[in-house]
Structure 1
Amino acid sequence: MMNAANQRPDLIDVLRKAREQLPGDPAFGDPLSVSGPGGPRAVARAADKLVGDSPSAAREIGFGALQVWQAMLERVGRGKGSQEVTIMFTDLVSFSSWSLTAGDEATLELLRRVAKAIEPPVAEYGGHVVKRMGDGVMAVFPSADGAVRAAVAAKRNLERVEIGDYRPRMRMGLHTGSPREIGGDWLGVDVTVAARVMEAGGNGNTMISQATLSALGADTLAELGLGAKPYRRSFFAAPLNGVPEDLRIFRLTRS
């Protein structure tokens, strides 16, 4: 009887709608969800191991509790780890519109070439890819210097990638903080900030937060022939949600 109730579609639907009224990310548990503070997929995967991935009332109740828990942690500033790392997010500009006309075969070939361009520098400079998200990746580095050097090398490699007459452009975002590592993933406010820093990259810029700029060696940017120009959001640009009000972002430029 209890198992039958657990699988009732009407009950599951009611609980799922109830979760939309709770604090936190209501997409918690969606394997395609990468939005919202704290990287909900990390904890969602842990919950899946306990309640399974089939729709059920128990699953929705469990995700609701975790959703509220994560929102509370972020609100009071907890959920941080003890290790400082630099988080990198990447994203191909206008990739979706190009792939619609290019077709699956060309799209997959492009993604393979992009991965070969950007992932080796990540490993070379001490980082590792946490997850791949379609046309982008999230990577973590033990140092800001390594992250910036990897970003520069990846962008240089990407200049040689071309499919037909399409040359991909990539925006990148770097932020340094202390997220918490759980089950091979990382979550916390700093992960959200890194993703938002990337979003400020527009049509292919490399952006870094003030925290990352401050963590760089004194001569790192000069050695790379780079400068850091303060980012000012244009009047028509959408505001960056889920970040501290005093967040400062810089665009890396050739000096």
Structure 2
Amino acid sequence: MNAANQRPDFIGALRKAREQLPGDPAFGDPLSVTGPGGARAVARAADKLVGDSPSAAREIGFGALQVWQAMLERVGRGKGTEEVTVMFTDLVAFSRWSLTAGDEATLELLRHVAKAIEPPIAERGGQVVKRMGDGLMAVFGSPDRAVHAAIAAKRNLDEVRVDGYRPQMRMGLHTGTPREIGGDWLGVDVTIAARVMEAGGNGNTMLSQATLAALDEQTLRELGHQVKPYRRGFFAAPLSGVPEDLRIFRLSPR
């Protein structure tokens, strides 16, 4: 029995079989088991017990956990075939302000900002994937809901003041098919969304061409907003890690 457990051909066949199962066929590696979730927690514990040496038992065990995790994430979502809209946010010049404001004021500001922008995201079906100090990443199943959330969040943020300081936030939205792995979303489309946000300068909300094309024709009209093409300043550095033909638009009230 132990001999079969270590046979390379048997292990290879099991790995091949895992490619046909729902979810991530590499489930069990450090990247795929980070983040919360029952299947991921069990996988982390199992990895400590069985180690990372190749074995048939390891492949069978992680294959079962792979299917469990796929069921939790709605089968197939981890394969990068479902279109989602990725949102990135970032407070403009936050680091410079926080150096002089101090920790207490900084923490107070971040709490107010979270109360302003996270409820509109959740109310419109968005999922906050991670918080990154003064910004966050969220995903939506619908670009229209993402735009609704962005506008509502910016409206709420206009009411935030801490010691006379009014935060400015830039936001970026891009629609594509990133991969969900280990509670995070990875891939070129995530990078593009982050770069779209960077084009927001001193507090603009930016959309990629992909997001604009995926919007319902009535959405912007109903929201009383319009878009204008983004043109990079003559001395501004080009955005890195994005397609050369990427078109970006600035969202603004009519």
Normalized against structure 2, the TM-score is what? 0.71
The equivalent of 1:213 in structure 2 is: 212
Distance in 2 (CA, whole Å) between partners of 1:192 and 1:241 is 9
Task: Give the whole-Å Cα distance in 1 for the aligned partners of 2:93 and 2:161.
Answer: 15
Aligned to 2:193: 194
CA distance in 1, matches of 2:245, 2:238: 13
* Structure 1 equivalent of residue 105 of structure 2: 106
Residue type at the aligned position of 1:102: A
Look up the equivalent residue of 1:113 and give its one-letter code. H
**Is contact 1:42–1:186 with CA below 8 Å preserved after alignment?**
no
Which of the two has higher C-alpha Rg? 2
| Match in the other structure for 1:149 | 148
Determine helix, strand or coil for the equivalent of 1:172.
strand
CA separation in 2, counterparts of 1:249 and 1:114? 26
User: Which residue is equivalent to 1:119?
Assistant: 118
Aligned partners of 2:33 and 2:182 also within 8 Å:
no
Give distance in 2, aligned partners of 1:249 and 1:51. Answer: 44
Q: Is the 8 A contact 1:231 1:250 kept in 2?
A: yes
1:217 Cα deviation from its structure 2 partner: 0.6
Change (3 A) 1:173 1:80: farther
Is residue 252 of structure 1 aligned with residue 251 of structure 2?
yes
* 2:234 alignment partner in structure 1: 235
Cα offsets for 1:173-206 (capped at 9, x unmatched): 0000000001111000000000000000000000
Unaligned runs of 5+ in 1: 1-40, 53-78
Change (3 A) 1:250 1:210: same
One-letter amino acid of the structure 1 residue matched with residue 179 of structure 2 = R
Q: Judging changes above 3 Å, is the alpha-carbon distance between structure 1 residues 42 and 212 closer, same or farther for their aligned structure 2 residues?
A: farther
Q: Show CA shifts across 1:64-93 (max 9, x none).
A: xxxxxxxxxxxxxxx960100000000000
**CA 1:241–1:158 in 2, change beyond 3 Å: closer, same or farther?**
same
Q: 1:44: how far off? A: 9.3
Q: How many residues align?
A: 190
Contact 1:42 1:187 in 2 (8 A): no
- Counterpart amino acid of residue 127 in structure 2: H
Partner of 1:184: 183
Which residue in the other structure is 1:131 paired with? 130
Query: Which digits, 9 at most, give the CA deviation of each residue in 1:111-165, with x for residues without a partner?
Result: 0000000000001111010000000000000000000000000000000000011
Partners of 2:34 and 2:183 within 8 A in 1: no
Determine helix, strand or coil for the equivalent of 1:106.
helix
Structure 1 vs Structure 2 CA RMSD? 2.3
> Relative to structure 1, is the Cα distance of residues 42 and 156 closer, same or farther in structure 2, using a 3 angstrom cutoff?
farther
Give the TM-score normalised by the residue count of structure 1.
0.70
Tell me which residue corresponds to 1:13: none
User: What are the ranges of 5 or more consecutive residues in structure 2 without an aligned counterpart?
Assistant: 1-29, 36-43, 49-77
Give the SS at the match of 2:129: strand
User: Counterpart of 1:252 in 2: which secondary structure?
Assistant: strand
The 3-state SS of whatever aligns with 2:226 is strand
Residues 1:241 and 1:51: Cα distance change in structure 2 (over 3 Å): farther
Question: Residues 44 and 202 from structure 1, CA distance in 2 versus in 1: closer, same or farther, beyond 3 angstroms?
Answer: farther
In percent, how many aligned pairs have the same letter?
74
2:198 & 2:31 partners in 1: Cα distance? 21
Q: How many angstroms apart in 2 are the aligned matches of 1:231 and 1:212?
A: 14
